[in-house]
A = this chain, B = another copy of it.
Amino acid sequence: MTNTLYLPELREMLAENNTAELHEFCTALHPARTAEFMEGLTAEEAWAVLQHADMALRAEIFGFFEEEKQVEIIERTDPAQIAPLIAEMPPDDRVDLLAEIDPEIVEQLMPMIPTAERRDILRLSAYPEGTAGAEMTTEFARLDEQSTVHEAINEVRRKAEELETIYYLYAVDQEDHLRGLISFRQLLTAKPNTKVGELMERDIVTANATDDREDVAEKVERYDLLAIPVVDDEYRLVGIITHDDVIDVVREEAVEDAYRSVAVAPLTAGYLETGIWTLSWKRGIWLAILFVEALFTTFALRMYDWVTAVIPWLILFIPLLISTGGNTGNQSATLVITAMSTGNITLRDWWRVVRRELCLGFMLGSVLGLIGFVTALGVMSAYPAQKEIIASATMVEDSSKTTTVGKETSQDSVANGKTPLADDQVKPNLWSSALVVAATLFLLVPCGTLCGAVLPLVFRRLGLDPALMSNPVVASMIDVMGIVIYMNVAIWMLL
């Protein structure tokens, strides 16, 4: 998505050191768009262009570069030049950025950053990733609740340039305890001599600095906030999180959930930017885990190998049945996980969820069972090898000397004349084989919905992330279940 439209012109301007035009380029557009036009430039070229913007604008344009480019510029430029830029960046962004930089370079940079900003960086970087503290900015408007509306407006006007948002103002006491909130809209419509304390909201939606950023995003969404104040355990105001950061959180969490749903460990960069080794590790480790999990299907089939030896056509429907079971389970798991993460259901609703999914499972199982019945009739009626496979199965019974318990059972039923081995029994066998497929679906689909719905609930109950029960994990479990149900239905109905 590199915009190459302006690149030749930009390079020409740089070569000619055309200060006027470079300044014009930096100031004419929205900083985000300026950054886009510069995407094709090297780190050195980009830095040279940025010299033609004043420090505030420089930091703004820089903030819209891709993270990769930002890191490159910082790592390749003289720290003395970079330090003022870092000082100018929004507090939350610069902490995130510095975490990506070579620690040695950060060590060189830090002493050159002004004390106030340096302290701020140290304070913010103390919060663990994924918490409200790590997302918040410290540039917000603080007010004394004793000040008047007129004074408050003047105060905001004075600081407007450096604040991330001026539209929510927070009243704090001497020890920084959060006392109230007033929106700029309220200030505007109030009488100039009114005290802020009389106007402000005291029932404020806040986040704790240690809260999960996802829960914070959910609050901002629910209350349609422009920003949410972040407090510490003593209810001291330590920062705010603004709407744009919340959108980023929602987006990032959605991408993470999508990755989790197919068992890819979260990536820190975009798809194309992630190295092939990292990507293969983040995918491979899960594929290996799932492989081990899927191994249980092999053991299950191994347990029932005498059944498939006697009735070889059973294997025709194994992938079909287990994938249908897996699909049903995945639907349930995703519906439940999504409903939990959007707050639509909580653990207390577990019984409603189980009832719903069981009911749905039997409804879907009946319909799919019917479809399966018709399908199996079609497949089996055109199956010419049927007779010979049955014949072969008989011979296994006759020739094999090492009989297991299972084998004995089947031999017993053969002896009892229950298995349809004679030529004239092909027709009833067609119907009963279709019935086996139908009955398996009827039983497997509710097991799938139940399993898919319950596993995430159990994980949440245990305090684990329900999304760990990703689709492939659920599907693999249901695969094993599918084989066991199918084989037992076959034993019961055919042997």
User: Footprint of B on A, CB under 8 Å?
Assistant: 1, 28-30, 32-33, 153, 156-157, 160-161, 166-167, 184-185, 188-189, 201, 203-205, 217, 220-226, 243-244, 246-248, 250-251, 253-255, 257-259, 261-264, 270-273, 276, 279-280, 283-284, 286-288, 290-291, 294-295, 297-298, 301-302, 305-306, 308-309, 312, 315-320, 322-324, 326-328, 330-331, 333-339, 342-346, 349, 352-353, 356, 359-360, 363-364, 367-368, 371-372, 375, 379, 383-385, 388-389, 391-393, 395-396, 399-400, 402, 471-472, 475-476, 479, 483
Contact = CB atoms under 8 A, between A and B. Distances in A.
Contacts of A188: 153, 156-157, 160, 166
Contacts of A225: 244
A397 B344 CA distance: 60
A389 B396 contact: yes
B297 A264 contact: no
B388 A396 contact: yes
Nearest to A344: B270
Nearest to A60: B224
A259 B243 CA distance: 26
A423 to B, nearest CB: 13
A346 to B, nearest CB: 6
Interface centre among A255, A323, A393, A476 (most CB of B within 10 A): A323
Contacts of A392: 309, 392-393, 395-396, 399-400
Given A287-B364, A308-B312, A295 B257 contact: no
A418 B360 CA distance: 52
B327 A287 contact: yes
A141 B404 CA distance: 83
A interface, over-half SS: helix
A375 B30 CA distance: 58
Given A280-B363, A395-B392, A161 B189 contact: yes
A298 B379 contact: yes
A225 to B, nearest CB: 8
A291 B368 contact: yes
A344 B258 CA distance: 15
A334 B258 contact: yes
Contact of A251 (B294, B342, B476): B342
8 contacts: A226-B243, A263-B331, A271-B345, A276-B363, A290-B324, A298-B317, A305-B385, A319-B483
Nearest to A407: B385
Contacts of A222: 32
A198 B286 CA distance: 58
A189 B157 contact: yes
A331 B283 contact: yes
Contacts of A204: 30
A19 to B, nearest CB: 21
Given A32-B223, A331-B262, A389-B396, A297 B319 contact: yes
Given A319-B294, A472-B330, A342 B255 contact: yes
A323 B368 contact: no
